[in-house]
Amino acid sequence: MPKPEEARYTKTHEWIALEGDQSLVGVSDHAQHEMGDVVFVELPKMNQKLEKDKPCTVVESVKSAFDIYAPVAGEVSAVNAAVTGDPAIINQSPLEKGWLFKMKAANPEDLKTLMDWNAYQEFIKQGVH
Amino acid sequence: MNITADKLKRTALNEICRKYGGKMVDFHGWELPMQFEGILKEHNAIRTSAGIFDVSHMGQIFVSGPESFRLLQRTNANDLRKAVTGKGVYSHLTNESAGLVDDIIAFCLSLNRYLVIVNATTSTKDYNWLKTQAGKMEVTIENKSDAYSMLAVQGPKAPDIFKTFAPEALKLPRFGIVEKKLFGQDCFVSRTGYTGEDGFEITAPHPVIAQIWEQLMELGKPYNMVPCGLGARDTLRLEAGYLLYGQDADDNHTTYETNYGWVVCLDKGEFMGRSILERQKKEGVSLKLTGVTLTEGGVPRSGCKIFKDGKEIGEFTSATYSPTLRKGIGLGYLSMPNLKNGELLEVEIHGRRVKAQVQKTPFYKGTAFK
């Protein structure tokens, strides 16, 4: 599992981290705080094609539904069944047990175009959502 | 109307709510907490023990004078004779077409003196409506909504918390009210609430509401009472099948259409909209607010469409995830008013059809129903 400092972040508060030839995707700790109690997750389908910045799945908290956007282009290679069984994992462990899916990035170099940990912290501080 | 952040109305408990970590939001022009520690935690605290809400946005209209009963009897669908001294009645203020001006609780404080608790967004409208209906009646109508704050302590442990604070309140029946001096000011304590659990609401002048809150927080400590926000208030009231005016009820739907037929007392004599309600009672309604539960995963929201045998028959006016039942629940006006409990439906969520069924309300019966 990635350390928060090793992951890359989007302006829509997803994180992505390379693990072998796949990348793990989830929502940031900041995002799960903003969402509140997560009660339902609709995961993408295996082999689903992902387009960068396009909604690919939905996380629902008690108060609202949140679209999850693909951080980079690629294809879904695994989904985390644990979060559908117990969506609260996303609140408890957004960067570890609460990952949403794995993807094969069309171009792994694309990850480097996203914010690193420091840039993301700065981004949150500015209050830009 | 576009209300900017600095123009939001703040309650006398605003600072307290912030102090306890309330996440403040714009609720129809009022700055109120959406949640404190989390909606689920707050919801569960009230179902199992106790929680406290700032509900100061609610309005208070006092009606007094020799014809106060007559005015309220003529403007309400329920029978105000049920509101004997020291008791309130939940009712619908009806218009000419039997639509709801508002849903209210009218308490009889003493002979010819009533306190009407109204919704925040409708207090001015209700006041004007009552003034117009009163015409030349011998009655005084005062909108004191800006003079009073209100808080609610809800949950099965609420009576324990009130044991020393207001022992007289423990003797109150559901919808009972008692006038009581708190910190030197004239206040009202009623056995009412919007959660489906037993509990109390306190209406008090602004200067003492913070002291009342803090004392109750102290008394609530042994019961792990927590401050609760609008988020939990909404999931709790929806589980209890209570209407939210402006969403589930409005000027265009009658009491029978809201499925609150028990509120209507046709035999009490003439009242606003009575002839329409009498006809609907005889002939039935063409659409009815109906409870729906999801039988598979997903969270319904207001606006989600509802289908029967592939045909669209309505949409949710209120819907959410029910923390107690752990499934999606909602209310919607359905064009098939005679559906039976358990009949199969479908709901559209994010373009996906999800299985659902008709569910008689309340979805969950808390201690208020016992």
CATH number at residue B226: 3.30.1360.120
| B200 and B64 share one domain | no
Q: Please indicate, yes or no, whether residues B31 and B174 belong to a single structural domain of this protein.
A: yes
Identify all chain B residues contacting A64, using CB atoms and an 8 Å cutoff: 301
- For residue B3, name the pLDDT band (cuts at 50, 70, 90): very low
Q: What is the CATH number of the domain that holds B348?
A: 2.40.30.110
Is B279 inside a domain boundary?
Answer: no
**Does residue A8 fall inside a structural domain?**
yes
B156 & B230 share domain = yes
Tell whether B249 is covered by a domain.
no
Q: For residue B153, is pLDDT > 60?
A: yes
Smallest CA-to-CA distance from B250 within B132, B122, B124 is with: B122
Chain A positions in Cβ-Cβ contact with residue B351 (cut-off 8 Å)? none
- CB neighbour list of residue B324: distance below 8 Å, 6 or more residues apart: B43, B44, B47, B239, B364
- Tell me which of B108, B143, B178 is where a domain ends: B143
Residues in Cβ contact with B292 at an 8 Å cutoff, skipping those fewer than 6 apart: B300, B306, B316, B319, B329, B330, B331, B332, B345, B347, B356, B357, B358, B359
Q: How many Cβ pairs within 8 Å bridge chains A and B?
A: 41
Is B74 found in the same domain as B53?
A: no
Structural domain tally of chain A? 1
Last residue of a domain, one of B82, B110, B143: B143
Q: Per the domain annotation, does A100 fall within a domain? A: yes
Q: Write down the ipTM of this complex.
A: 0.88
**A59-63, B3-7, B132-136, B288-292: least confidently modelled range:** B3-7
In this complex, is the C-beta atom of A106 within 8 Å of any C-beta atom belonging to chain B? no
A86 lies within 8 A of chain B by CB: no
SS (H, E, C) chain B: CCCCHHHCEECCCHHHHHHCCCEEEEECCEEEEEECCCHHHHHHHHHHCCEEEECCCCEEEEEECCCHHHHHHHHECCCHHHCCCCEEEEEEEECCCCEEEEEEEEEEEECCEEEEEECCCCHHHHHHHHHHHHCCCCCEEEECCCCEEEEEEECCCHHHHHHHHCHHHHHCCCCEEEEEEECCEEEEEECCCCCCCCEEEEEEEHHHHHHHHHHHHHHHHHHCCEEECHHHHHHHHHHCCCCCECCCECCCCECCCCCCHHHCCHHHCCCCCHHHHHHHHHHCCCCEEEEEEECCCCCCCCCCEEEECCEEEEEEEEEEEECCCCEEEEEEEECCCCCCCCCEEEEEECCEEEEEEECCCCCCCCHHHC
> Is A55 touching B (CB cutoff 8 A)?
no
Residue B283: the pLDDT is: 97
Q: Would B254 be classed as within a structural domain? A: no
Number of structural domains (chain B) is 3
- The reply to whether A127 falls in a domain is no
CA B304, distance to chain mean position in Å, is 23
In tens, the pLDDT along B235-249 reads: 999 999 999 999 999
Q: Of B143, B174, B193, which residue is a domain's last?
A: B143
Q: Could you count the other beta carbons within 10 Å of the beta carbon of residue B207?
A: 12
Contact B350 A39 (CB under 8 A): no
User: Does B245 fall in a domain?
Assistant: no
CB of A11 less than 8 A from some CB of B: no
- Interface residues on B facing A, Cβ-Cβ cutoff 8 A: 34-35, 38-41, 43, 231, 235, 297-299, 301, 320-321, 323, 350, 352
Same domain, B77 and B154: no
- Cα B233 from chain centre: 10
Residue B250 lies in a domain: no
Residue type, B213: W
- A60 in any annotated domain: yes
A124 within a domain of the structure (yes/no)? no
Which element (helix H / strand E) includes A125? helix A117-125
Q: pLDDT tens-digit profile of B271-314?
A: 999 999 999 999 999 999 999 999 999 999 999 999 999 999 99
Task: Classify the phi-psi angles of B21: left when phi > 0, otherwise alpha if psi is within -120 to 50, otherwise beta.
Answer: left
Residue of chain A whose alpha carbon sits nearest to that of B23: A34
What domain range includes position B171? 5-58+146-239
Q: Are residues B67 and B129 in the same domain?
A: yes
Pick A36's closest partner by Cβ from B38, B297, B350: B38
Nearest CA in chain A to B42: A37
A97 belongs to a structural domain: yes
Q: Which of A55, A69, A15, A59 is nearest to A38 (CA)?
A: A59
Cα B163 from Cα B92, distance rounded (Å): 33
- Tell me the residue range of the domain where A65 lies: 4-107
Mean pLDDT of B70-84: 98
Residue A92 lies in a domain: yes
Asked whether residue A56 is domain-assigned, the answer is: yes
Report the CATH number at residue B72. 3.30.70.1400
Contact B323 A62 (CB under 8 A): yes
A119 Cβ under 8 Å from any chain B Cβ: no
The CATH number of the domain where A77 resides is what? Answer: 2.40.50.100
Same domain? B27 vs B152 = yes
Predicted pLDDT of residue A128 = 54
pLDDT at B1 over 90: no
Identify the residue whose tokens are 């009342």. B212
Whether residue B319 is predicted with pLDDT greater than 70 in this model: the reply is: yes
Residue with tokens 């707050």: B42
Within a domain: residue B277?
Answer: no
Q: Is the CB of A40 less than 8 angstroms away from the CB of B297?
A: yes
Q: Of the candidates A42, A62, A65, which has its C-beta nearest B40's C-beta?
A: A62
Residue B2, pLDDT score: 42
In this prediction, residue B6 has a pLDDT band, given cuts at 50, 70 and 90, of low
Copy the structure tokens of residue B78. 């329920």
Q: Which residues, including other chains, have CB under 8 Å from residue B141's CB and lie 6 or more apart?
A: B61, B62, B63, B71, B127, B130, B131, B134
